[in-house]
Structure 1
Amino acid sequence: MVNVCATNAISRVMFGRRVVGHGSNGGGDEKAEEFKGMVVELMVLAGVFNLGDFIPPLEGLDLQGVASKMKKLHKRFDAFLSAILDEHKINGSSEMQGNVDLLSTLISFKDGNDSGGKLTDTEIKALLLNLFAAGTDTTSSTVEWAIAELIRHPKILAQAQKELDSVVGKDRLVTESDLTQLSFLQAVIKETFRLHPSTPLSLPRISDKSCEVNGYFIPKGSTLLVNVWAIARDPDAWSDPLEFKPERFLMGGEKPNVDVRGNDFEVIPFGAGRRICAGMSLGLRMVQLLTATLIHAFDFELANGQLPETLNMEEAYGLTLQRDEPLSVHPKPRLAPHLYNEA
């Protein structure tokens, strides 16, 4: 459900409408599950140990079938995005009349503009794929980790809900303008990014020249991976690095002024420098607003009588940090009943 929400939030920015629905409106869940499966498969294949990457003569043999799987996945993504692009050319956006969405702007570049730039359908689809892959699964998985940590730490959850009730109340939902007043919630999100960065090894880089880093010689052309996950759990930089302690980011805590926007290298879930995540501001707001809305609107009970202290927090393998077991909870409303009516 969180993934459906993240996907639709991104799609409304890009297309001016939702691209997946919920089960109540006619099978939208299957489309959402299919799309999520494609994104997860992409992240797994992109992060897999591939012999050809390390032994160049073997690359063309594709011994593990990675290239073959990528080509099949590419065709599925191409069909998905081609359908969206063709429909948008005919119908435009359907939910944001009067507003120009990203795809409409990109389509206008196909015929050139004042600056002389032109885009092909292939380039447009490639950009859309980047935005979808980078902005959907990463957002939903981070929110999932945040909810899981809060369920495991009921006192922290109660403190976050108390702050929300104080700032927002129980007669309306959280809005984006509330976020700046929710200091404890922001600390919870920072601590989630620290312990569970969406891309634990950042993205691969290639050194364009030979250099030396901390006494290590890095040859030109080397593939470099920054272990964001390990940096944020370094006991030399953090006290009790494996503990979920949002208060470390509050005034009086050990790192009250540390942020996640790439300026403090102890915690860089979005990367840093010129290659920092282009969608950082949107991604951060989405994670904050989604998490705040969920814990403000609901109390959570684990499925099948599971106890919070026994909740599985194992991580799955892949380019993005997924839970080994998806979080399954029973939400219980805690706000005024009329707030849960569908718009």
Structure 2
Amino acid sequence: MLTKEQVLEALKPIQDPELHKSLVDLNMVKNIQIIDGVHVQLEVVLTIQGCPLKAKIQQDIEDALRKLGAASVMLKFGVMSKEELAALTQSLKKEVTTDTGVPKMLRPDSGVTFIAITSGKGGVGKSTVTINLAAALARAGKRVGIIDADIYGFSIPAMMKIDQKPTMIDQTAIPIESYGVKVMSMGFFAPDNNPVMWRGPMLNKWIRNFLVNTHWGELDYLLLDLPPGTGDVAIDVAAMIPQAKEIIVTTPHNVASFVASRAGAMAVHTKHEIIGVVENMAYYEEKDGTKKYLFGQGGGDALAEQLKTNVIARVPFAQPEENTGSSVYDEDSLIGEVFTSLAEDIIYNG
């Protein structure tokens, strides 16, 4: 003879796939009925009607209840009422913000390491560095998020082959997860890849939204892909996240290095710790192991010397991963190994 208490206990390990919390704790399991002691009927109320992972939730529930001893499971899906949704939103807000509305992750004791990836100019592979470092940190078992803060030149969703929009629970966004990394980007909210034509105050608002109105859950690292240069977004991030560390991306070309020095100088001015310089497109390696320096040599070293830091990675040229269309490289590839090494350095040396 099954009881409602046993059913709830059996369902506790099953999580909402987006919120990563127990369906029971989220009060999503309703109207449990047990017929003849072994036939279970119940309703699960979801945050939105078209939950893309509804089939997985159903399978997990059926498996758990059959393991408990249910002869049959009849499951009905519903949607939360406005009142239930409002209560859930408030609960999520309390988890991520203080009483004054400041994101808890911004507190010095939050345990979140913020890493801003910046450059002096576009076209040096800053976003490629961001997503591959994030993926390498995730493969190392870390909980990682990315804010695509390049409001005008957002590219992270396309580079990570993300083609869906974040679920919105009232005014709270649930990040999209790809390669084990949670992602938020302006690209999710710009219809048909239209350009974003905003100035300072609106940019500040969106960056703050990505921090305050996004349910990131528990994170170890949050990477911010900043626009190139030293404009409004970089200034706002420096003010909002004074504890952020920075990685400066350049190519070996002396012009790219010269321009990148301005971004580095801004990091010094805002008292952000510079983790180091990543020299992207450092060389092309022939099949026989010969290296060709297509953009010359020395740009990364010159920049590191000027900023009193080190070159922490040299990333070679490579073709995008075959058949995936993604810019995230396999961990066994040459570039994947470079980022694995970089991630390990960051984890163990800060």
TM-score (normalised: structure 1): 0.24
Higher relative contact order (CA 8 A, sep 6+): 1
TM-score (normalised: structure 2): 0.24
More helix by share: 1
More strand by share: 2
